[in-house]
Amino acid sequence: MAKALPIMFQGTHSDAGKSIIATAFCRIFAQNGWKTAPFKSQNMSLNSYVTVDGKEIGRAQGIQAEAAGVVATTDMNPILIKPSREHESQIVVHGKPYKNMQAFAYRGEFFEKGLAIIRESLDVLMNEYDRLVIEGAGSPAEINLNDRELVNMRIARMANAPVVLIGDIERGGVFASLVGTLQLLDKEDRKRIIGVIINKFRGDLALLKPGLDWFEQYTGVPVLGVVPYLEDLHIDAEDSVSLEQMSTAVNPDKDIDIAVIRYPKISNFTDVDPFLTEPDCHVRFVATAAQLGQPDLLILPGSKNTIEDLLYMKKNGIAEQIAQLNKHHRVTIVGICGGYQMLGARIRDPFGVETPLREISGLNLLPIETTLERKKTTVLSEGILTFAGERFFVKGYEIHMGRSQPLDGNIPFIHVQGRAEGAKSKDERVIGTYFHDLFHNDAFREALLNKIRREKGLAPIYGRQSFRTIREQAFDRLADHVKRHVRIEEIEEKMHVFRKGDV
C-alpha cells in the first residue's frame, strides 16, 4: 500500500481559494512533522516556477513545496498548460515543452498519454511522502468536460483521496454553488466529499450560522470551517484572476508609485510581489494609457506572447506614452523577460513561434534585438550586477523562447557565469533582463528604491526586511489562521477513515 495519506481540495469554481487552502495544509502537515508534498496533476497558468534541475512547473506548486519545506519537483505538477494564442496553449510535460495544442486536440489526442504521466508522478509522490496535498482545478461539476478531465474527481479516484470542497462566499451565492456542485456529482464521487470549507468570509459569523445549519441538514455534508478573509498575506497568486482586485489608481499616501503593464498575455507577474510588502510603495496594474499616468517605476513583466502584447501596447497608446515618459519624466523602466524583449529595437519571429508576423519594431529604449526560437530556456541563474555605483550578487530564474543580441552601445546589466546578460541605459533609467525574481534580491531592491527616493528628494530607507523572511512568516500566519477556523483534527481523522475504507 502507498505510504502517503492524501487529501484533495476542489472548488466550486476558479479562484475559490483551492491554492491558498492547499498551501495552508502543506504548512500545517509539515509543522506536525509529516514529510508533505503538493500535487496538481494539470495546471493551467502563466505563472511559472523553475525547479533546481531547471524544469518548469506551476508557480502554485512551487510555493506549496516551499510551504511544506521540501524541494519542488516536476512530479508535483507533471502537466503545465500555458495559454499562448487564442484557443492554443503550450503543453509542458515534466518541466519541458511537449507541443502547442488547441483545446479540442488536447482533449482528444493527449488524454491517454496525460493519464499515464499523471499516474506515474502520483505513484512517485505517494511512495516518497507521508502526506499528499492534492489540488483540483476549476470545478468538479463541469459536466461538459468530465468524461476526459485530468485534474478533479478522476485524480481523487486515482489517489483514493477524500475531497474537501471549497466555496468562495465573497462572490455571493456560496450555498447555491456548493449545493449545485454536490448535486451535479455522480453518487460515487459525491461519497468522496468529506466536508466543505467556506472561504473569504467577512462579517459576523452568527449571521451565517442559519445557512450553515441548513446546508448540513439539506446535504448531509459537514461544514468543516469558515475561513475569514486574510488581508496582506503576501503569498504568490495563482493566476491573472487575482489581478482583477489590484488597484489601477495612484495612492498619494505612498512615496513610490509603481505601475505594472497588464497586457493580455501577462505572465510571471509575481516578480513584483516584493514591492507589495514595502511600506513606501504602491503597486498598480494598468491596462490602458489613461491608467498609466507618471509612475516612479514602470515595470514591463513577462509575456506568453511578446509580439501580441507589444502590438496591444502600440494600438492602445501605452507604447507612445512609455516613450514620452522616458523622454520627459524621471521614470525608471524595467523590463523582465518578454518585457525586456519589448524594450529593444526589434523582435524577429522567423519560425512563427508566436504569430505569423515575422518582425516587429520594439520600443527602442535599449540597443538589443531579439530572435524568437523554438527551443525554450529554463534555468536557475545567478550573477553580479552593478547598479547605482554598487555591486550586487543576484539570483533568479530564466524562462524564455528567444535570444537577445546586443547592438552598438549596449551596456550589459548582469554578468552571469561568464556571459553578459540583459541591458541598461547609461543613466540606469531603462533596464532589461531575463532574470525573473530579480526584485526578490533584497539588497538590489533596496538600492533601486533608494535611487528613486533620492531622485524625488526623499531620504533613503535602509534595512528593509528580507522578502524570504516575510514569505516564511506568511506561511506560518496562513497556517495559524486556517487552524483557528478549520477543524483540522476532524479532517485528519476522516483521511484515516477513508484510507481504511470505512466511509
The model carries a pTM of 0.92
All three cell numbers of 18: 483551492
> What is the predicted pLDDT for the residue at 233?
85
**Is 436 an annotated catalytic residue?**
yes
Element (H, E) at 379: strand 368-387
- Does domain 5-233+472-500 match CATH 3.40.50.300? yes
Domain edges within the chain: 5-233+472-500, 256-457
> What is the predicted pLDDT for the residue at 502?
56
Exposed, middle or buried: residue 231 (CB in 10 Å: 0-12, 13-18, 19+)? exposed
All three cell numbers of 237: 497568486
Q: Are 84 and 265 within 8 A, CB to CB?
A: yes
Inform me whether the pLDDT recorded for 238 exceeds 70: no
> What pLDDT, in 10s, does the model give residues 40-84?
999 999 889 999 999 999 999 999 999 999 999 999 999 999 988
Mean pLDDT, to the nearest integer, of 17-37? 98
Q: Among 107-116, 236-245, 322-331, name the one with the lowest average pLDDT.
A: 236-245
> What is the predicted pLDDT for the residue at 223?
98
> What is the predicted pLDDT for the residue at 235?
86
Given this chain, do its domains 5-233+472-500 and 256-457 carry the same CATH topology?
yes
> For the packed helices 467-485 and 59-68, what is the interaxial angle rounded to 10 degrees?
80
> What pLDDT, in 10s, does the model give residues 108-139?
899 999 999 999 999 999 999 999 999 999 99
Question: Phi and psi for 171 in degrees, rounded to 5?
Answer: -80, -10
pLDDT band at 242 (very low <50, low <70, confident <90, very high): low
> What pLDDT, in 10s, does the model give residues 147-185?
999 999 999 999 999 999 999 999 899 999 999 999 999
> What is the predicted pLDDT for the residue at 240?
55
Q: Give the angle subtended at the CA of 329 by the CAs of 327 and 333, to the nearest 5°.
A: 80
**Active site residue: 26, 94, 281, 337, which one?**
337
**Active site residue: 400, 436, 440, 485, which one?**
436
> What pLDDT, in 10s, does the model give residues 388-400?
999 999 999 999 9
Inform me whether the pLDDT recorded for 244 exceeds 70: no
> What is the predicted pLDDT for the residue at 445?
99
| DSSP per position, 429-443 | SEEEES-BTGGG-HH
pLDDT band at 208 (very low <50, low <70, confident <90, very high): very high
Inform me whether the pLDDT recorded for 418 exceeds 60: yes
**Is 282 an annotated catalytic residue?**
no
> What is the predicted pLDDT for the residue at 251?
86
- Does domain 256-457 match CATH 3.30.70.1560? no
> What is the predicted pLDDT for the residue at 294?
96
Residue-averaged pLDDT of the chain? 94
3 state SS of 410: coil
DSSP category for residue 133: E
Please list, in sequence order, all residues whose beta carbon lies within 8 angstroms of the beta carbon of residue 418, skipping any fewer than 6 positions away.
Answer: none
Inform me whether the pLDDT recorded for 277 exceeds 60: yes
Rounded Cα–Cα distance for residues 60 and 62 (Å): 5
> What pLDDT, in 10s, does the model give residues 254-267?
999 999 999 999 99
Burial 462-481 (b: 16+ CB within 10 A, else e): eebeebeebbeebbebbbee
